[in-house]
Structure formats: structure tokens, C-alpha cells
Structure 1
């Protein structure tokens, strides 16, 4: 299938009336009344994650379509967050919605011990896209439990207790996964008894290795990791677990050769390599998987999010030969009631077929190379508070600092500030729904965002950065 010559969003087939149109058809007064009730019930009964419950005012979303959502006031916002960086093919894609509805009519649920056509087909399609011989798929409900099970598999296969993960990482909110995490969300949940050891990964902009080039950063980061392995005792280490590109921690693209270097270290010491592609997988960087793009085959690969754009919860572990053989004649002691749920798998099958048919990966790659990357680099030149931009495909971070010389973040790691709050407020006022973390604005629209929409969002971001410049100048 030939790719389009210029970046343009994959065309969606005609379908029922748009959700956005339907939301507005009831009239503004009715919509606002419904939104007010939704908000009141939320505040009365919903317990929100990662939040002080009495200090939040969640935005009501009444509809979504493509690259846009509609809030409770009827405002249409360009979604530059992809929600939690998971709606890779956009909101309400008619092919995926139809596949879920069709599956619900045929077989709404079935326990994981039975074979099911959608589960089998989803596993085949995923296995075809993973690197190397990662041919067996263990389905979970999301990314956190995928990482939980990958670590359990690694420990049982090797008979070793420890897992090495990097600082500035995120692997999920469940018990083991939050201990694997290397950002401040771990602190309140970490009893330092989970057999997890953290190390520094490459991050040239804030290098812990006094590096001045990508090559130096790569070499020194690998030397540091090997020293940690040696000091911890290789015979005690089951796995090294890495995000292919750390996501919420900063979208820090590793230097060329780093992932391959970690693979070589793991091989040298008999350690399993687990690559977390929960956020990077399925088109986010313009490829099916970063590890495949880098020519690296992990022993275990975890995924979720983009596998079906989050329409129905789904994650999983792609299992390589060593682990697969270990459990060939001994039971794997783990499972989930909803493992490979048919509605979720039907959504995955439809999503992967749409991505293949419409060359979504190629579209995302071209947008990154020809639109998002160049425009963000131009913004970095214009704005004194932009310390660095970095990314790939539709997966970018804009790091905000008080000035380029000191590189002082405008907000602390794991926290916020009046500057970041002002940036979010300005973005929403201008019709953009942003993704922010600490001192960064992440540019992570759906992989199907059109070139025109991408440029529209980047133009709004320019104005948001004007506001950031003003706020930083006021506090100087």
C-alpha cells in the first residue's frame, strides 16, 4: 500500500451522526444542565486518582470525535493530550465503535480459559508486529498489570528476586508497578521492600554523567548501569525494565545505541530485558514499537493504551522464547478474570486493521519529521522559557525553564506552579486541551491528527508560551 505523499489525516469512513453534533443538538441550556448534574454527582461520589479530593474541579466532557472533545460548557477543544496518551486513532472512530457493538451483540464476555476468535486474532495481529520471536501474548486489563506480570514472569523464569528500573520512569499504579516507577508518584507507596533498584538513564539535557554529547551520554549511562549490576550482584537480578522512551517522566528519547547496549548487558549477565512500550507502542512514535525500530528484541514487551486506543481497557505482555519455554510444562501462577476480554480484543483487531489500512504509523512519523518537530524547534528559538524540545512522531515534550542558562525548571519534579497553572488555563481558553507534567507541556495529539489540526494546536501553543514568558518575567 503506497503512503500518501504529504501528511494528511487518515480518512474515517462515513458513519452515524457525529457525537459532537449530537451533543450540541440538545441545545446549550440542556447541555449545561446535564453537565452541572454530572459535575455535582462526580464531586459527591467519585474518588479520583492522584488527587486531593477536595481540591480538584474536574472538567466535564460531554462528547468527543476525532481530535476534539466537548466540555460541559459546549466548548470544542483540540485534544493535544490524547487523554492519557492513548487515543492513538482519535475519538469515536466509527470502525472501532462498530466492531465493539458487533461483538457485544455476538458474545459480550467469555472467561479467559476458553478460546475466542477476537482474542486469537488480536494476539496474532500483535505478535506479527512485535520484534523478533515475541509470539505469545498474555492479555491484561492495562499497562500496570502488564508490567506486574512481566516482572513476575521474569522472576519465576530466572529464580532471581531483583529488578532494575530507571529514575524518571513510570510503570503503573499497582503495587509492584508503582515500586518499579522512578518518579515521585512512587514515594508515598514505596516501602523499599519490593526488590527494585533504580538507576540513572540517559538524559543529556540534565546529564548525571557530565556528558556533552549524545555519544558520551550513551557510553556513560551504560557504564553506570553495568556498575549497578555488578554492585547489586548479577546473580540476584531477574530483569532490567525500561520504558522504550520514558513518557510521563519527560519523553527523553534515548541516544542511538542505548537500548542495544542495555540488551547486550542483559545478555552478558543472564538478565532478562523487559521493554515497557505501553505509551510508545502502536504508532505513537511513527512505528509499531520503538524496540523494533531500534533493532532490539526484548525478552518481554509490555503494551496497552494504543493497542485499541483505550476504547475498552486492554494491555498485555508479549512473551519471548525463554519465558515461553519455562512455562511450557509448568503452570504460570497468574491470571485475570477479564484477560483478553472479547470487547477489548474486538476493539484491538479493528484498531490495528485501521492503522494498517490508513498508514497511521507513516502519517505520525511524517507529522513529527515535517510539522511538529520543526515547529517546536522554531518555538524554542523564539521563547526564552523553552529549554529543550524533544520527541519523535506525535510524542514530544517542551521543557520549560526560568531561563536557558540556568535551566531552572518552572515547576518542581512531580509538582506544579503558578506558571504551569497559567499555561494550562491559557491553553484551554484558546481551545487546546494540553498534557502537562511537572515543568513540561507534552505535545501528544492522536496519531491521526491532521496536518491542519497539528498546526492549529502549535499556533495556540505559541500563544501559551507567550503567557509563560510573561509569568516567568513577572516572578523574576
Structure 2
């Protein structure tokens, strides 16, 4: 960021950040963070006073948008009444948040273990699966992301795993369905589904079913590419797990709470996992919160034996108050339905038109307010230029590898979505120029 374009207050913020803050996933000498001074609804303002339409939902978590008044007030009221409490004590907001979550998860996932975010939710789900089965291995797909803690990063399938991969975590990776760049040479969605399931069945047989505690899947892989599974794939994985007594863990950290136009993808697909992990959209990230929704038979394993795990801030009252307010607001304001409608009537059709118009675009795919625009070239070196172009136009994108993800808040209006797509059209004009070189 150009420091002399900033207000004095923003310049001071930038200076302190660069002097003292150690950034994630970054070479520290190259970090150039954008200063954000305020936010409201689907917009943020940078340190120079420019307004940007947030097509990133930050890290795909502000499902209710920024500064939702009901959530902000719930946090403030809870802070005045009971700012913190240890997890061994019951409190009203934790119990109510658990009830509201359990009512929306599929099947019998009626118990909730609260964590601080998605990574530790996946850590604890895997621990529960291993303890309840007595088996060591966990299968996860390539092109996945499950978090940055030690177990979660080893569970991750994409290259961010490599620098931390110990090779001793008991994790085996497999290929999931992704027809655009199919590992299975499939010509149809049905072929991709069948061949992906055949591949997973073979991996299970070769690894030894009795050694496998769990299959951990993102319901729709998020950061790795928003590859929507073909019809029948999730149900097929459920059947394979049932056949071999393997725990199915569904990672809905990114997809949950309205992001795809449903409360949860697994419920939308009629699939009930044994464990379901969540975070992000549960309270739009206003206060860190994640968790594991637990089926009856997994919970029963720990009925008479202690579960060996916990966190100081598990079910923190400020975070749970935010969750209660968020879920209630989403219900009252029809937010989940809005996300589904915007995806079906605006984002899906208009992104298809952009793909047809821009030779740089290889494929668009998604559901609800959860879409990826994948460039035809696999090279990611054009992305910094495209991000800079987007920001100058007033659009804040989410990008990874050779993809621009279209992931605005679930509250976005049709007019705002169309404004963002018009800006994206201009960004793709630039992509056409760069890719053609």
C-alpha cells in the first residue's frame, strides 16, 4: 500500500503493523497489508478512504456482512452482563447456541463441543474418531484445506501442507471429484462421481479398512477451489464409511450457515455425517468460535469415560452470544434463502456469461454465494496484478492459486451483486490481456 495515500491515523496503523505484526502464510519482508478502517454491510473502507465491495467476506466468514447491529448489540450486552466464564460452568448463551446449532445440523448431531475456530474443530473431531474407533488413520482428499494447526495442516491436501508435513500423522490422501481437471479422465459428472468413489474404495482396501478411523471431507472444498461434488458423491462416501465402520467427518467450516444457500451442505444433500465441524459463519467471525457437532453414537463413547481434550475459551460467552444473535437474525431475515436466490438467479447465470465472454476463464462453479472463477491457465503469477486491478476499481476479491472466488456476504442484495460482477468483468478484461501474453 502506498503510505502517502493514507490518512495520518491509517499511516500509523500501517507503520505499527509492519514493525511488529508477524503475518500468516507470508514472507514477512514482502507483506503489504491494506489498512481497513471501518466496515458496514457488504463494504469496507481502506486507509485512504476508498470504499470497496467485499466479495471475499474477509476469509469467507462474514456471512451476515459487517457490523450487523443485532450481533454487535448482543456482544455488547453479554460483555456488560458476563464477559467470560470457564467452560466447566454452564451459561445461558452457550446452551442456547448449542441448541440452535443442533436444530440445524442434519440427523442426530445433537451435542456440540465448542472450539475457537475451524482448525481446532477438525483436530478434536479427528481425536474423537480415533478414540471411538481405536484406529489410527484418517483419509482426506488432495485439494483440501482443514486448518493451520499441526494435525489440521497434515490433514490438508493442498501444497500449504508441505512445509509442515511430518509424514507421521496417520493421514492418507486421495483424489476427490473435480471434473474440470479430472484425475479420472471422466467425460461426464456421473463418470467423475463413479470413478472417484471407485478410487476411494480402492484406497480404503489398500490401506486396510480396520486401520482407518475416519474419512474427513470438506462438504465443498473451499479455499482449494469450490469444487461442488457431483450428485451422489457424498452419499457414496457415506455408504463406504458405513460398510467399513469408518467415521465420516464433514468439514462445513466454510460451507455452513447459509454460505451455499443451505444451513449445511450435508443436510441439503441428505447425508448425515458422524461428526460435523463448523466455524466462520456461525457468528460471522465477530468473535472467534468453532465447534464439532457430534452424533449420538460418538457421544455415547464418552458417556462413562472422560473426553481427553478441552480449551480455556471453549464456548466463550461473547462468541456464543454472537452465534445466538447471528443464527436468529439469519432465520428472521431470510438470509439463507437470500443466498440461495442470489446464487441461482444472479451469480450463477451472470458468471456463466462472463466465462463465455472472457477467454481467460476456464470454468465457473459454485452454489449460493460460494463461487470460483478458475482461469484457463494454471499459472498463478497473474493474480497479484488482478487483485491490484480489482482494488483500484473498488472490489475486494478472495483469490487462491489461479482462481478468483466470488464469496460475498449471504446478505448481499441483487443490486450489490450485479455491481460486483460488473467490476469483476473489468478485472477479467485485464486477465484476458495477461493470459494472452
TM-score range, shorter chain: over 0.9
Of 295, 300, 306, which residue of structure 2 is paired with 1:331?
Answer: 306
Change (3 A) 1:387 1:197: same
Whole-Å separation in 2 of the counterparts to 1:45 and 1:350: 34
Query: Contact 2:216–2:248 at 8 Å: present in 1 too?
Result: yes
Match status 1:465 vs 2:428: yes
Match status 1:308 vs 2:277: no
1:355-370 alignment, distance < 5 Å: 355-370=330-345
1:271-282 alignment, distance < 5 Å: 271-282=246-257
- How many residue pairs get aligned? The number is 434
C-alpha displacement of 1:280: 0.1
Whole-Å separation in 2 of the counterparts to 1:188 and 1:222: 29
Match status 1:162 vs 2:125: no
Deviation per residue, 1:343-394 (Å, 9 max, x gap): 0000000000000001101000000000000000000000001100000000
1:205-216 alignment, distance < 5 Å: 205-216=180-191
3-state SS of 2:359 partner = coil
Change (3 A) 1:164 1:94: same
Report the counterpart of residue 243 of structure 1 in structure 2: 218
Gap regions ≥5 residues in structure 2: none
Gap regions ≥5 residues in structure 1: 1-28, 402-407, 412-416
Of 59, 71, 91, which residue of structure 2 is paired with 1:96?
Answer: 71
Report the counterpart of residue 274 of structure 2 in structure 1: 299
Match status 1:430 vs 2:402: no
Of 373, 383, 395, which residue of structure 2 is paired with 1:398?
Answer: 373
Whole-Å separation in 1 of the counterparts to 2:11 and 2:356: 43
Whole-Å separation in 2 of the counterparts to 1:344 and 1:161: 33
Match status 1:350 vs 2:325: yes
Report the counterpart of residue 258 of structure 2 in structure 1: 283
Match status 1:230 vs 2:193: no
C-alpha displacement of 1:472: 1.5
Report the counterpart of residue 385 of structure 1 in structure 2: 360
TM-score normalized by the length of structure 1: 0.90
3-state SS of 1:40 partner = helix
Whole-Å separation in 1 of the counterparts to 2:11 and 2:93: 39
Of 89, 99, 111, which residue of structure 2 is paired with 1:114?
Answer: 89
Report the counterpart of residue 177 of structure 2 in structure 1: 202
TM-score normalized by the length of structure 2: 0.99
4+ aligned runs moved over 2 Å, structure 1: none
Report the counterpart of residue 115 of structure 2 in structure 1: 140
3-state SS of 1:163 partner = strand
Query: Contact 2:5–2:48 at 8 Å: present in 1 too?
Result: no
Deviation per residue, 1:401-455 (Å, 9 max, x gap): 2xxxxxx3132xxxxx1x2111111100100000000000000000001110000
Of 371, 375, 391, which residue of structure 1 is paired with 2:350?
Answer: 375
3-state SS of 1:218 partner = helix
3-state SS of 1:90 partner = coil
Whole-Å separation in 1 of the counterparts to 2:435 and 2:335: 38
| RMSD (CA atoms) | 0.9
C-alpha displacement of 1:141: 0.1
